[in-house]
Amino acid sequence: MSDALKHECGIALVRLLKPLEYYKEKYGTAFYGVNKMYLMMEKQHNRGQDGAGFASIKLDVNPGERYISRVRSNAAQPIQDIFAQINERINLEFKNHPEYKDDVAAQKKNIPYIGELFLGHVRYGTFGINSVENVHPFLRQNNWMHRNLIIAGNFNMTNTNELFDNLIKLGMHPKEKADTVTVMERIGHFLDDAVRKLYKKAKAKGMNKQEASPYIAENLNVAKILRKSASNWDGGYAMAGLLGHGDAFVLRDPAGIRPAYYYQDEEVIVVASERPAIQTVFNVPFEEVKELEPGNAIIIEKDGSMKLSEILAPLERRSCSFERIYFSRGSDAEIYQERKMLGKLIMPKILEAIKYDTENSVFSFIPNTAETSFYGMLEAAQDELNKQKNEAILKEKESLTPERLQQIQAHKIRTEKIAIKDVKLRTFITDDSSRDDLVAHVYDVTYGVVKPDDNLVIIDDSIVRGTTLKKSILKMLDRLHPKQIVVVSSAPQIRYPDCYGIDMARLEHLVAFQAALELHKDRGTYAIVEEIYHKCKEQVEMEDVSVINHVKKLYAPFSDEEISDKIAEIISDVDIKAKVKLIFQSVDDLHKACPKNLGDWYFTGNYPTAGGNRVVNRAYINFYEGNPERAY
């Protein structure tokens, strides 16, 4: 994608179902789980490269033995850094104690990170906060084994302030207001409460504290704890947690905004944000990896049994379409076909823009995630070319010569690798003018393949801010001297901020929003900008369920094409000689391509949770007041 966006995050949970000796005998190492976690995290590094964390739990250890290990990193290559630390520690133990090499029991007792239960996380720092303290998994410690809680998730809550205030009402004193902390403390509160109640029952049965511990572990109702904890969450989430004694869970939000997949066999239970990660790491077919249903939790008990529990009543399914367009791995079988379909469905608009002149048009893509949509676009272009050939042959059938037939058949769709990203360039210079010059050279182009009378068609997966297009890509493409540059977005116009985990918080940064403002100026209707502000302000104290997204009124007077043309005007510098045309996917065609993932709030403003409308109105108020703060 031409504009850098950041998304949080990716999770991986692995539960080994056999004794560690089994993996040592079958796979040659008792560190089978650690090795699989490394692969699971690496196969999801597309979801986060600012930080990574790993936690493990050993089951059935003796008192006084360490049973929880955790390591986190915000280094330049955090996954590699984590596992370098883990390997260094393991190798040091083997060096100092060579007798451990074939003694699995000694390894489990004395070496950290080995265990039966693992949780991993990769993240992007969503708004400039990327200290190691912000890296998951988070740990809530307690001397009671059952009350130790490890949390990691791919999520963002829209009502963090409300959640924080509720913790205060419960008599707690959270160390900060971040949604991860508030979520963990809320789960922790109800976990503590459940443990206390079970202890009272155990005591009533005549058990002492030591005898009560296994009773609590056996009878703890994780589903009930989650129902109480999540009752007032508003956001998109796939939340994973480990309890110190060995229970584990993964909970998905009731609208299915954030993804979660799982697989189980006789050796392992695994959960991840990406289906291909599970397929590849455990070598299993597509159909054996299941999707966790919205509002449901996978609950893995200490004995290794797994069940699915409905925690929250599912809402209308509004799974994030941006996951499919851009963030998720394109190697997923469904996502690959969806991205190809996005390219196919937008081809009619492209043909109109180039006046069906496929002979004098060059097709390409902006690396790398748009490549699959490009293939779909090409299939549709080839269909059009075949149609043109058939029409030419039928039209000239009475006078057709072998030479003319060969000429018709020789016509091919022209595709070239046009835009090439120079991965060695980094925008590390902080001076604005120097930075702009550097950004302009992040992409290079292939010279000599475009003629002056050509249309140059470039497909991108989405256009958010338009910055890289304006400062780099269009200038580079114009050096090829095409007649027209047609920039195609396989996603619709991004008009509204996200509040569920993708770093698009400020309206004024969205080029579609800028285009709407300019259109109102052009038409003398700019007074609506203040009207919308006052309507948003009137709702500030209202309950979320009653709030209306008034920002929709800004876009209502304009067609998609009018906004697209204004965006083209905004991103085209005066020194661009070629005509610039922008084409965006329609929302209807997006839904056709991704029928199971209808979360389209970026494009329509139809937020799947009540908190979304409050966030978009707050974002508008911040824009109008010149307030740079995030809206959530």
CA-CA-CA-CA torsion sign (473, 438, 48, 280):
positive
> What radius of gyration do the chain's Cα atoms show?
28
Domain boundary among 267, 291, 317: 317
Exposure letters 381-416 (e unless 16+ CB within 10 A, then b):
beebbeebeeebeeeeeeeeeeeeeeeeeeeebbbe
Residue 3 inside a domain? The answer is no
Please tell me whether residues 48 and 135 are part of one structural domain.
Answer: yes
Token pair listed for 591? 């839904």
Identify the three-state secondary structure at position 299. Answer: strand
Residues of the chain with pLDDT under 70: 1-8, 125-130, 170, 172-177, 367, 422-443
Give domain status of residue 508, yes or no: yes
Do 569 and 534 have their domain in common?
A: yes
Give the pLDDT confidence score for residue 471 in this predicted structure: 83
Same domain, 231 and 135: yes
Give this prediction's pTM.
0.91
Q: Strands 117-123 and 10-16, how do they pair?
A: antiparallel
Residues shown for the chain: 632
- Give domain status of residue 151, yes or no: yes
Give the structural domain span for 92: 10-192+219-317
Q: Are residues 395 and 297 in the same domain?
A: no
In a domain, residue 203? The reply is no
Q: Are residues 408 and 450 in the same domain?
A: yes
Is residue 111 located within the same domain as residue 15? yes
Q: Are residues 528 and 604 in the same domain?
A: yes
Both 583 and 620 in one domain: the answer is yes
Whether residue 303 is found in the same domain as residue 414: no
Phi, psi dihedrals of residue 622, rounded to the nearest 5° = -60, -45
Residue 1 domain-assigned (yes or no)? no
Annotate 24-90 with DSSP letters as a single string. HHHHS-TTHHHHHHHHHHHTTGGG-SSEEEEEEE-SSPPTTS--EEEEEE-SSSHHHHHHHHHHHHH
141 in a domain, yes or no? yes
Of 256, 290, 317, the residue that ends a domain is 317
Q: What is the pLDDT of residues 53-107, one digit of tens each?
A: 999 999 999 988 999 999 999 998 999 999 999 999 999 999 999 999 999 999 9
In a domain, 211, yes or no: no
Q: Total domain count for the chain? A: 2
Q: Which of 263, 251, 296 is nearest to 36 (CA)?
A: 263
Q: Provide φ and ψ at 548, rounded to 5°.
A: -110, 145
For position 150, what pLDDT does the model report? 97
Identify whether residues 303 and 381 lie together within a single domain.
no
What confidence score (pLDDT) does residue 77 get?
93
The model's pLDDT over 444-471, given as tens digits with 9 standing for 90+, comes to 778 889 999 999 999 999 999 988 888 8
Based on the fold, state whether residues 294 and 346 are members of the same structural domain.
no
In this structure, which amino acid lies at residue 586? S
317, 349, 371 - which closes a domain? 317
- In this structure, the answer to whether residues 85 and 228 fall within a common structural domain is yes
Measured between alpha carbons, how far apart are the two ends of the chain, in Å? 25
CATH number at residue 350: 3.40.50.2020
Tell whether 208 is covered by a domain. no
Q: What CATH number is given to the structural domain containing 26?
A: 3.60.20.10
Say what the pLDDT of residue 435 is. Answer: 47
- Which whole-number Å values give the CA distances from 95 to 20, 108, 115, 274, 568, in the listed order? 21, 16, 20, 37, 63
Cβ neighbours of 610 (radius 10 Å): 15
Helices (H) and strands (E) counted in the chain, each on its own, are 24, 20
